[in-house]
Amino acid sequence: MSFLSEGVAVITGAGSGMGRCLAKQLAAMGSSLAISDVNEKALAETAGALGATKGKVTQHVVNVANEGQMKGFAEEVAGKHGRATALFNNAGVALLGNFEELALDDIRWLMDINFWGVIYGMYYFLPILKKEKRAHIVNTSSIFGLVGAVGQTAYCASKFAVRGFTESLGHEMGGTNIFVTSVHPGGIKTDIARHARPGAKAGASLYKDSVSRFDRVAITTAEAAAARILRAVEKYEPRVLIGSDCKQVDIIQRLKPAGYWKYLAKRIEDPGAKK
């Protein structure tokens, strides 16, 4: 049996997208699950999509931005499962608009979920994970944790923060029972753009334009992304780039650390454009 098939996996943001796909694939492997989401209906739909499972599945309605709820989540998992072997800090949101189109409350909202949600997950689940012979932590950063993008100041700030935190944590956990992976998805076919919050001062057309642009660059399915993440866990990979787009961006950033955006902007507007 594999590490994942015989463990207890904790997943935030399991109500849709990659989180739902991770839950489905882990359940099919035989893993027990503690799935969470702020959306109770979506969470129930995920649970229903799992079908008959070998492992135990529990549902937890949790806002990852709320420290008290995350503390309670960890306590519930310990009480209902007795252990946790893998933590997938997957929950995340998007915010539309250039910096001058955002209110401070917009940025706080995003950082509370995308960054502090990861911190709370780590802080309260780490003592549980440390009790295992082997445990694994997966934190979801982004392609925008590798490069900065116009209109993504807040989102990039959160995902660069997740990346830096995760890499540092991985170094700290070296030699222990816990392995840490930073995941960088490129354009994944999920509803994150459709659920994004427009900045308080953003124009009315921004939402439509942003969704259209996202649809053009979203080339990887959530199912494929989840499968790639699980392979990385089994193989002890510290850093995962998901999608050919993310791999290309990583190379471009390395080759042109100060001038990558001029090239990338053209590709976002026209994915078929050549250098």
**Tens digit of pLDDT for each residue in 155-208?**
999 999 999 999 999 999 999 999 999 999 988 878 676 767 778 877 656 655
**Domain of 230: which CATH number?**
3.40.50.720
Residues in the chain: 275
- Chain segment 111-133, per-residue pLDDT in tens: 999 999 999 999 999 999 999 99
95 pLDDT more than 70: yes
Number of domains in the chain: 1
Domain for residue 106, yes or no?
A: yes
DSSP 86: E
Domain for residue 143, yes or no?
A: yes
Quick one: pLDDT band at residue 136, thresholds 50, 70, 90? very high
| pLDDT at position 263 | 83
Q: Give CA separation, 71 vs 91, 120, 162, 222, in Å.
A: 16, 8, 20, 28
Across the strands, what pairs with 198? 96
Strongest mean pLDDT among 33-42, 244-253, 256-265: 33-42
- Compute the half-sphere exposure of residue 227: CA atoms within 13 Å on the CB side of its CA: 7
Domain for residue 169, yes or no?
A: yes
Domain for residue 73, yes or no?
A: yes
CA separation for the pair 72, 86 (Å, rounded): 18
Of 91-95, 122-126, 142-146, 193-197, the least confident: 193-197
| pLDDT at position 275 | 43
Across the strands, what pairs with 2? none
CA separation for the pair 89, 117 (Å, rounded): 8
- Chain segment 11-41, per-residue pLDDT in tens: 999 999 999 999 999 999 999 999 999 999 9
Domain for residue 56, yes or no?
A: yes
Domain for residue 103, yes or no?
A: yes
Domain for residue 257, yes or no?
A: no
Place of tokens 């989401």: 37
Please report, to the nearest 10 degrees, the dihedral formed by the alpha carbons of residues 130, 131, 133, 139 taken in order: -40
Going by their DSSP bridges, the two strands 8-11 and 95-96 should be labelled as unpaired
Domain for residue 49, yes or no?
A: yes
271 pLDDT more than 50: no
Report which residue type is found at 1: M
| pLDDT at position 193 | 66
CA separation for the pair 99, 78 (Å, rounded): 41
What is the mean predicted confidence (pLDDT) over 133-159? 95
> 226 is in which domain, residue-wise?
4-211+220-246
Q: Identify whether the C-beta of residue 145 lies closer than 8 Å to the C-beta of residue 118.
A: no
Torsions phi, psi for 96 (to 5 deg): -100, 135
Mind telling me the catalytic residues? 155
Of 35-39, 66-70, 132-136, 261-265, the least confident: 261-265
Quick one: pLDDT band at residue 54, thresholds 50, 70, 90? very high
